[in-house]
Amino acid sequence: METKKTRNTEKQNLVKEILSKTKHTMSAEDIMNAMPLKVNKTTIYRILDRFAEKGEVHFVTGKNGKAYYALCNNCEGSHEIHNHIHFECQICKEVTCQPYTLSMPDLDGFTIQETQFLVIGICNKCKK
Ligand SMILES: [Zn+2]
Ligand SMILES: [Zn+2]
Ligand SMILES: [Zn+2]
């Protein structure tokens, strides 16, 4: 008998696999459409939230207000500080993690819980 728990684990693994295969970030909808089995969007969000809590996935909010998710590389202990830049292309709409970081100023002791850096423009692929 297939238990609910193993089915959930299967879905979680699929979400992680889909994210690991893509070079750009994905919205919950993109992930839902790439799933080989039918999973509703609420479940996808729940899985992504859990991964984000564990520091395995981070997200950036795009120009359209949608969240775009990507796997984290070295997030142990400092998941909230994602100081790498994200780039959103106005033409192909891809949102990518960029290997460039911005240093965070101190902000007079304010507590930083999350950072999102989004740069909007036209990517190299679309320039041609
Ligand atoms: Zn992270
Ligand atoms: Zn583009
Ligand atoms: Zn990123």
Give the structural domain span for 121. 4-127
Residues with CB under 5 A from ligand 3 (ion): 70, 97
- pLDDT in the model for residue 92: 96
- pLDDT digits over 8-27, tens only? 899 999 999 999 999 899 99
Question: In this structure, how many other beta carbons lie within 10 angstroms of the beta carbon of residue 114?
Answer: 11
Q: Which residues are annotated as a binding site for Zn(2+)?
A: 89, 92, 123, 126
Query: How far, in Å, is the centroid of ligand 1 from the Cα of 128?
Result: 33
Query: How far, in Å, is the centroid of ligand 1 from the Cα of 15?
Result: 16
Query: How far, in Å, is the centroid of ligand 3 from the Cα of 40?
Result: 24
Residues with CB under 5 A from ligand 2 (ion): 89, 91-92, 123, 126
Q: Is the dihedral of CA 65, 68, 73, 77 positive or negative?
A: positive
| Residue 57 banded pLDDT, cuts 50, 70, 90 | very high
| Residue 2 banded pLDDT, cuts 50, 70, 90 | low
**Overall number of domains in the chain:** 1
Query: Residues with Cβ < 8 Å from 22, sequence gap 6 or more?
Result: none
Query: Phi and psi dihedrals of 10, rounded to 5?
Result: -60, -45
Q: Could you tell me what percent of the chain has a pLDDT over 70?
A: 98
| CATH number of the CATH domain containing 102 | 1.10.10.10
d(CA 78, CA 61): 19
